[in-house]
């Protein structure tokens, strides 16, 4: 049968599930020789068996718990319920987290009208003993019967004068309050006290939080029932609040805000000394031995756990006791700094350190410091040593490439050339070129744009010297680069008004009519499915010519500067291999003309941007003409789901939240189940045709930890993201690699043990 009562001397770390994390932690400490108040744990099983539906302890429970209590009596020489040497107990949840430790507890169980006098004699301080009893009554009332503290406080009145008679009066009033509301008197039988405390602490999650008297009257019965029960930790009460050389404290093994090495925290001595201070200075001066012991405990625990520790302790008449030890809650900065320290000290591995960091903390830290701290730099270097995915960047302007490189980008995965043309200085030339009535006029416009694009590419090649730069050819419906039709029509109306029939206005009106006609011709109602991208080159091949010429001219210049230049020309919206083939011919033709002799120094590539499901489905064919596949997963998501992002987010994602049709917005987190399948299938099929086909994702909906883990798992070569997301992606890619390695090691071990 599973154990129902476990002495701290018997507990182990592996019993965490049975005896709760707090109890298991203390058991390990005790057995390693650290001072821990003697105690035992009533397991979840035990609590379930002992606390019956009505909140009463069964007979066997009484026996098993009774024998554990006797064990504590033997260890302390005190006796539970004894009038001369009363043993007092602390009853706590063994599972609550450290910060709410005392709110899920009942302390000083064992005090009653008789034993309180025993405590008074033991401590030689009756006022202290009475106050302990008063606090027990108040906590008991709150925990067992849900009576709010405020009702007790009302009875107490002025807190500044707590003399014996006032305390005796308060005790009588509190007992009456418990009886009135709880419908039972406060138990003078200490066994009954313990039983009720245990059942209440075990069932603590069900204890209602009552704020008003009305609620209270509605619910004045004990809290028990079908709750599964928490394991309950019962320990000998140690007292740090009274007497010489006593006090209570909380410390951290590293600073929780800055992560600085060294013990820090606070200590409150029971006797106010001349040099009282809130930190640990007084303890170091007055109790150097105990201070040293705490220092040792910190390094012992950090070495065992590999984490910064929070230690709550008590000093009772010169004896140190560790009350609770748990991993400390740290600021992002402190978590990073201490983690790096642990690696340097050999306590944890680099992989452990990387797994411990929340990738989004890195983004937050970068926002806070605006540049990498040395610790962050180091962590990112470790990530690069481990990760298998390359992290590239999506850029719209040369400045983005400089930022991306500084943040560790290993190249450009998507350079959106249409964004470069949209700047206010360039747009008039772009519009003039598009609105031209014939090819020669259009070519003249393009001649003005070519040096602008070339200069952009030169700057990007320079920033990315040594790394590949994927440049996507113009991928915008032309009308998006043109003036708004509605605005043009308004202007026409204004010019057509009678009074403006002067010659100047006539000329403008004629030109405006021409522009309106052209804009209307080029307008597309459904641009995603329209003439943009690779199909544009069949209508206006000269635009693509200009872009290619600009790329290769910039490449020649770069090569002559001594840079390592690798342009990767990405053809957007490929649906059929013939489209890619035609574009590839065009690229090769321009490259031959522009690169000339430099061609051997500039190994360019041509690849397909896969955003149309047909391209994914025919990946084996597309791979014949592609040096790489880049998945535009945002548009692939639109086409796979059959809705546009704009419409979905504006009109129905909100509604779907309630009906739970779409659990995650697939434009924020890659839909691994559907879109991910298309990507995986295309990668597999593409590599059947071309084993070294380079593959990656440039859609910005694949940059969360889960999506990056998927990208790693299916063996993509890279993920491309916004420059500011690069540090996040580097950490996430390393985490994906580490988890992947550990998972396969586990599978191998399992296989070996099956064979054995």
Residue 416: contacted member of ligand PEP, Mg ion, none (CB under 5 to 8 Å, by partner type): ligand PEP
Q: CB neighbours of 712 closer than 8 A, spacing ≥ 6? A: 388, 389, 733, 736, 737, 740
For residue 198, CA distances in Å to 105, 173, 210 come to 9, 25, 20
Instruction: Give 65-86 as a DSSP string.
Output: HHHHHHHHHHHHS-BTT-SSSB
Least distance in angstroms from the C-beta of 636 to Mg ion: 8
Count of residues interacting with Mg ion (CB under 5 A): 2
Is the Cβ of residue 203 or residue 633 nearer to Mg ion in the bound state? 633
Q: At its nearest, how many Å lie between ligand PEP and the CB of residue 399?
A: 18
Judged by beta carbon distances under 5 to 8 A according to partner kind, the member of ligand PEP, Mg ion, none in contact with residue 699 is ligand PEP
* Residue 735, binding choice from ligand PEP, Mg ion, none, Cβ under 5 to 8 Å by partner class: none
- CA 320, CA 313: separation in Å to the nearest integer? 7
Question: 633 is in the binding site of which of ligand PEP, Mg ion, none (Cβ under 5 to 8 A by kind)?
Answer: ligand PEP
Our finding on whether 632 is near Mg ion (CB under 5 A) is: yes
Distances (CA, A) of 214 to 72, 182, 210, 211, 219: 42, 14, 9, 9, 9
Q: What is the DSSP letter of 354?
A: H
Nearer to ligand PEP, 46 or 477 (CB): 477
Tokens 């040099």, residue located: 275
Q: Identify residues 56-115 at the interface with Mg ion (CB under 5 A).
A: none
Cβ 635 to Mg ion shortest distance, Å:
4
Binding site for ligand PEP (CB under 6 A): 414, 416, 611, 632-635, 698-699
Question: 556 touches which of Mg ion, ligand PEP, none (CB within 5 to 8 A by kind)?
Answer: none
Short-list 682, 688, 476, 468, CA closest to 573: 476
Nearer to ligand PEP, 146 or 632 (CB): 632
Q: Looking at beta carbons only, is 115 or 637 nearer to Mg ion?
A: 637
Q: How far is the CB of 636 from ligand PEP (least distance, A)?
A: 7
634-663: which residues touch Mg ion (CB under 5 A)? 635
3-state SS class at 752: helix
- Considering the complex, state which of residue 29 and residue 473 has its C-beta at the smaller distance from ligand PEP: 473
Q: Name which of 357 and 570 has its Cβ closer to ligand PEP.
A: 570
Both tokens of 243, joined, read 């007497």
Minimum CB distance to ligand PEP smaller for 353 or for 395: 395
Between β-strands 5-7 and 39-42, what pairing exists: parallel, antiparallel or unpaired? antiparallel
- Smallest distance from ligand PEP to CB 702, Å: 8
Shortest Cβ distance from residue 699 to Mg ion (Å)? 7
Q: How far apart are CA 522 and CA 314, in angstroms?
A: 79
Kindly state the smallest distance separating residue 632's Cβ from ligand PEP, in Å.
3
Helix (H) or strand (E) holding 7: strand 5-7
Question: Would you list the DSSP string of 708-742?
Answer: HHHHHHTT-SEEEE-GGGHHHHHHHHHHHHHHHHH
Inter-CA distances, 643 with 178, 538, 633, Å: 63, 27, 14
Torsion of CA 145, 147, 149, 153, to 10 degrees: -120
CB-nearer residue toward ligand PEP: 197 or 414: 414
User: Kind of pairing, strands 232-236 and 261-269?
Assistant: unpaired
Q: Which residue pairs, CB below 8 angstroms and at least 24 apart, start in 462-465? A: 462/558, 462/561, 462/563, 463/398, 463/401, 463/402, 463/404, 463/405, 464/401, 464/405, 464/409, 464/411, 464/412, 465/558, 465/563, 465/564, 465/565
Task: Name the minimum Å distance from CB 542 to ligand PEP.
Answer: 23
Task: Work out whether strand 412-416 and strand 390-395 pair parallel, antiparallel, or are unpaired.
Answer: parallel
Query: Residue 145 and residue 320: Cα distance in Å, rounded?
Result: 34
Which stretch, 105-113, 555-563, 632-640, 656-664, contacts Mg ion (CB under 5 A)? 632-640
Is there a contact between 719 and 702 (Cβ–Cβ < 8 Å)?
Answer: yes
Q: How far is the CB of 570 from ligand PEP (least distance, A)?
A: 10
DSSP H helices, 146-232, are 149-156, 164-182, 190-202, 213-218
Cα–Cα–Cα angle for 508, 513, 515, rounded to 5 degrees: 95
Rounded-to-integer distance, Cα 12 and Cα 25, Å = 8
CB of 611 to Mg ion, least distance (A): 5
Nearer to ligand PEP, 201 or 702 (CB): 702
Taking the least distance from each CB to ligand PEP, the nearer of 109 and 698 is 698
* 707 closest CA partner among 739, 733, 681: 733
CA dihedral sign of residues 35, 40, 45, 50? negative
Output DSSP code: residue 652: I
Find the radius of gyration of the CA atoms of the chain: 37
Please identify, using beta-carbon distances, which residue of 187 and 527 lies nearer to Mg ion. Answer: 527
Q: Which is nearer to ligand PEP, 416 or 566 (CB)?
A: 416
When the beta carbons of 585 and 646 are compared against Mg ion, the nearer one is: 646
Angle between the 577-595 and 541-561 helix axes, to the nearest 10 degrees?
Answer: 50
Q: Closer to ligand PEP at the Cβ: 383 or 698?
A: 698
Smallest gap from residue 617 Cβ to ligand PEP (A): 18
Q: Which does 698 bind (CB under 5 to 8 A by kind): ligand PEP, Mg ion, none?
A: ligand PEP
> CA 505, CA 44: separation in Å to the nearest integer?
89
List beta partners, residue 620.
none
Least separation in angstroms between residue 251's CB and Mg ion is 54
Choose the one of Mg ion, ligand PEP, none that binds residue 545, judging by a C-beta under 5 to 8 angstroms depending on kind. none
Q: Is 109 helix (H, G, I), strand (E, B) or coil?
A: strand
Determine the 3-state secondary structure of 31 from DSSP: helix
Interaction of residue 579 with Mg ion, rule CB under 5 A: no
Q: How far is the CB of 562 from ligand PEP (least distance, A)?
A: 32
Cβ nearer to Mg ion, comparing 222 with 632: 632
* Residue number with the smallest Cβ distance to Mg ion: 635
For 533-656, strand residue ranges (E) read: 566-571, 605-610, 628-631
Residue nearest to ligand PEP (CB): 699
Nearest distance, CB of residue 654 and ligand PEP, angstroms: 23
| Per-position b or e across 581-611, b if 16+ CB within 10 A of its CB | bbbbebbeebbeebbeebbeebebbbbbbbb
* Pick 462 or 579: Cβ nearer ligand PEP: 579
Minimum CB distance to Mg ion, residue 419 (Å) = 12
Nearer CB in complex with Mg ion: 50/631: 631
Residue 545 near Mg ion by CB under 5 A: no
The distance of closest approach from Cβ of residue 640 to ligand PEP in the complex, given in angstroms and rounded to an integer, is: 12
Give the nearest distance from C-beta 697 to ligand PEP in angstroms: 8
Residue 501, classed as helix, strand or coil, is coil
Is residue 640 within 8 A of residue 707, CB to CB? The reply is: no
Q: Which residues bind Mg ion (CB under 5 A)?
A: 632, 635
């Amino acid at each position: 049968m599973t154990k129902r009562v476990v002495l701290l001397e018997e507990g182990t770390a592996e019993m965490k599930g049975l005896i709760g994390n707090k109890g298991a932690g203390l058991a390990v400490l005790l057995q390693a020789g650290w001072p821990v108040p003697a105690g035992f744990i009533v397991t979840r099983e035990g609590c379930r068996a002992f606390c019956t539906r009505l909140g009463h302890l069964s007979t066997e429970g009484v026996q098993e718990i009774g024998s554990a209590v006797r064990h504590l009596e033997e260890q302390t020489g005190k006796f539970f319920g004894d009038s001369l040497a009363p043993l007092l107990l602390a009853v706590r949840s063994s599972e609550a987290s450290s910060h709410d430790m005392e709110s899920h507890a009942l302390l000083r169980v064992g005090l009653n009208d008789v034993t309180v006098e025993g405590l008074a004699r033991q401590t030689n301080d009756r006022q202290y003993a009475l106050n302990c009893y008063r606090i027990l009554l108040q906590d008991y009332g709150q925990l067992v019967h849900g009576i709010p503290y405020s009702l007790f406080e009302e009875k107490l009145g002025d807190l500044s004068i707590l003399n014996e008679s006032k305390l005796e009066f308060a005790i009588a009033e509190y007992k009456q309050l418990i009886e009135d509301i709880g419908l039972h008197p406060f138990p003078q039988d200490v066994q009954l006290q313990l039983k009720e405390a245990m059942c209440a602490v075990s069932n603590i999650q069900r204890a209602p939080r009552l704020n008003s008297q009305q609620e209270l009257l509605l619910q004045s019965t004990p809290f028990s029932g079908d709750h599964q029960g928490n394991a309950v930790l019962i320990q000998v009460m140690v007292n740090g609040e009274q007497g010489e050389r006593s006090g209570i404290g909380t410390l951290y093994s590293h600073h929780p805000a800055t992560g600085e090495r060294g013990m820090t925290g606070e200590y409150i001595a029971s006797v106010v000394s001349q040099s009282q201070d809130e930190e640990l200075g007084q303890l170091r001066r007055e109790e150097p031995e105990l201070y040293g012991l705490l220092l040792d405990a910190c390094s012992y625990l950090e070495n065992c756990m590999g984490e910064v520790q929070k230690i709550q302790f008590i000093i009772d008449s010169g004896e140190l006791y560790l009350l609770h030890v748990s991993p400390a809650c740290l600021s992002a900065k402190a978590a990073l700094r201490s983690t790096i320290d642990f690696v340097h000290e050999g306590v944890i591995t680099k992989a452990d350190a990387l797994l411990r960091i929340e990738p989004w903390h890195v983004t937050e830290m970068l926002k806070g410091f605006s540049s990498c701290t040395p610790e962050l730099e180091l962590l990112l270097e470790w990530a690069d040593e481990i990760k298998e995915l390359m992290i590239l960047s999506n850029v719209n302007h040369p400045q983005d490439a400089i930022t991306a490189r500084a943040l560790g980008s290993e190249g450009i995965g998507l350079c959106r050339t249409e964004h470069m043309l949209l700047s206010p200085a360039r747009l008039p030339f772009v519009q003039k070129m598009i609105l031209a009535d014939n090819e020669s006029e259009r070519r003249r416009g393009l001649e003005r744009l070519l040096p602008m694009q070339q200069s952009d590419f030169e700057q990007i090649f320079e920033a990315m010297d040594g790394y590949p730069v994927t440049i996507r050819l113009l991928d915008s419906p032309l009308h998006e680069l043109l003036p708004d039709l509605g605005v043009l029509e308004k202007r026409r109306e204004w010019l057509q008004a009678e009074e403006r029939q002067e010659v100047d206005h006539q000329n403008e009106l004629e030109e405006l009519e021409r522009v309106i006609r052209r804009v209307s011709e080029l307008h597309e109602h459904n641009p995603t499915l329209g003439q943009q991208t690779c199909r544009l080159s069949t209508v206006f091949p000269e635009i693509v010519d200009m872009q290619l010429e600009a790329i290769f001219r910039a490449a020649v210049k770069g090569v002559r500067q001594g840079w390592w230049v690798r342009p990767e020309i990405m053809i957007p919206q490929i649906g059929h291999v013939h489209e890619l083939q035609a574009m590839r011919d065009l690229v090769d033709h321009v490259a031959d003309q522009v690169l000339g002799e430099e061609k051997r120094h500039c190994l360019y590539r041509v690849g397909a941007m896969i955003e149309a499901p047909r391209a994914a489905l025919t990946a084996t064919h597309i791979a014949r003409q592609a040096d790489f596949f880049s998945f535009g997963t945002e548009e692939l998501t639109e086409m796979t789901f059959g809705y546009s992002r704009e419409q979905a987010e504006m009109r129905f994602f909100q509604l779907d939240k309630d009906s739970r049709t779409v659990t995650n917005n697939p434009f924020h987190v890659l839909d691994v189940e559907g879109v991910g399948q298309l990507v995986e299938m295309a990668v597999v099929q593409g590599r059947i045709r071309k084993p070294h086909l380079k593959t990656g994702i440039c859609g910005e909906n694949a940059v969360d930890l889960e999506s990056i883990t998927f990208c790693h798992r299916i063996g993509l070569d890279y993920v491309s993201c916004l420059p500011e997301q690069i540090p996040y992606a580097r950490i996430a890619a390393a985490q994906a690699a580490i988890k992947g390695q550990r998972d396969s090691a586990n599978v191998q071990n399992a296989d070996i043990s099956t064979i054995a």
